[in-house]
Amino acid sequence: MDWHEAKALLDWQIELGATEAIGETPVNRYAQAPERTADPPLAAVAAVASDSAAPPDVAMSDPVQAARAAAAAAQDLESLRMAISDFDLCDLKRGARNLVFADGHPEARVMVIGEAPGRDEDIQGKPFVGRAGKLLDRMFAAIGMDRAAPDPDHALYIANVLPWRPPQNRDPRPEEVAMMLPFVERHVALVAPEILVLMGNHSCQALLGRRGITRLRGTWAEALGRPALPMFHPAYLLRNPQAKGAAWHDLLMLRARLKGGN
């Protein structure tokens, strides 16, 4: 069995929820005396460390500062995608199948920012392609907008705060969001949308510094110097269909703003 097959089997077990290794019989570890081995010579330790350690400029760097420098160097969307793909300081990258960068029209007037990829997004390498993504498409289609539209006036551009799937779809951690936020900021700057739509609590926390989507939705805010409209995440609407009326209200607010209303 090569390592690719072994990793695939491990990924399959994790998908099933098998995240801990246990034996067939219990082990009383309190009764086990640890075996002490002779300490290796300091020279041998130093040699192993020098062979296996990351370069000092990577190992010693602040992840946020490293992300900020990499993001600032990106002059277009393709170079930004490559910069994120090459960024090795976020542990989420190691457990993800694919980088989920963006989808839609890069000149769209509206940029939707979600939270993090799920299982379907991780498999396909595109944001919002599972059940929640299909609902998002139907929601925006109701006001004449589509991620596949060739006309920027009716198109969407979609990205996430995190480009890699957290294990078992857990919530993003603050340090992960802080690490990847410079890339999000650069992403918005390069796309230069007129309006941001922030889907869910984690997007609002990242870009507005506030949570509580039930209080934030329905009111215009400002994020990264642009008008921003917090909205319920489609995954929330799937669990709470009674909130779809509020989501429709917010979509009408967005349509009015795009048509020149307040």
User: Mind listing the pLDDT tens digit for each residue in 108-117?
Assistant: 999 999 999 9
Domain count, the chain: 1
Q: How many helices (H) and strands (E) are present in the chain, helices listed first?
A: 13, 6
The verdict on residue 26 lying in a domain is: no
DSSP strand E in the chain: where?
Answer: 103-104, 110-114, 156-160, 195-199, 221-223, 226-231
**Residue 21 resides in a domain:** no
In a domain? residue 35: no
- Name residues of the chain where pLDDT drops below 70: 1-61, 261-262
- How far is residue 10 from each of residues 1, 3, 20, 23, 25, measured CA to CA in Å? 13, 10, 11, 17, 22
Grouping H, G, I as helix, E, B as strand and the rest as coil, residue 183 is: helix
Domain containing 232 equals: 60-258
Tokens read off for 213: 């989507």
SS3 call for 242: helix
The answer to whether the Cα torsion of 98, 101, 105, 111 is positive or negative is: positive
Q: Is residue 196 part of a domain?
A: yes
pTM above 0.85, yes or no: no
Residue 90 to residue 161: CA distance in whole angstroms = 13
Task: Answer positive or negative: Cα dihedral of 86, 110, 161, 104.
Answer: negative
CA distance 85 to 27: 42
DSSP bridge partners of 159: 113
CB-based contacts of 147, cutoff 8 Å, min separation 6: 103, 104, 105, 137, 140, 155, 156, 157, 158
- Give residue 50's pLDDT: 39
Q: For residues 136 and 118, what is the distance between their CA atoms, to the nearest angstrom?
A: 14
Residue 76 sits in a domain of what CATH number?
Answer: 3.40.470.10
In a domain, 6, yes or no: no
Tell me how crowded residue 142 is: count the other CB atoms within 10 A of its CB.
13
Q: At a CB cut-off of 8 Å and minimum separation 6, what does 157 contact?
A: 102, 103, 104, 105, 106, 107, 108, 110, 111, 112, 147, 191, 193
pLDDT at residue 3, as a whole number: 57
The angle subtended at Cα 65 by Cα 103 and Cα 202, nearest 5°, is 45
3-class state of residue 146 by DSSP: strand
Q: Give a yes or no: residue 187 inside a domain.
A: yes
pLDDT of residue 93: 96
- The number of angstroms, rounded, from the C-alpha of 72 to the middle of its chain's C-alpha atoms is 19
* pLDDT > 70 fraction of the chain, expressed in percent and rounded: 76
Look-up: residue for tokens 């290794």? 21
Q: Is residue 113 part of a domain?
A: yes
Q: Is residue 104 part of a domain?
A: yes
**Residue 40 has what pLDDT?**
44
Residue in 166, 238, 168 with CA at minimum distance from that of residue 199: 238
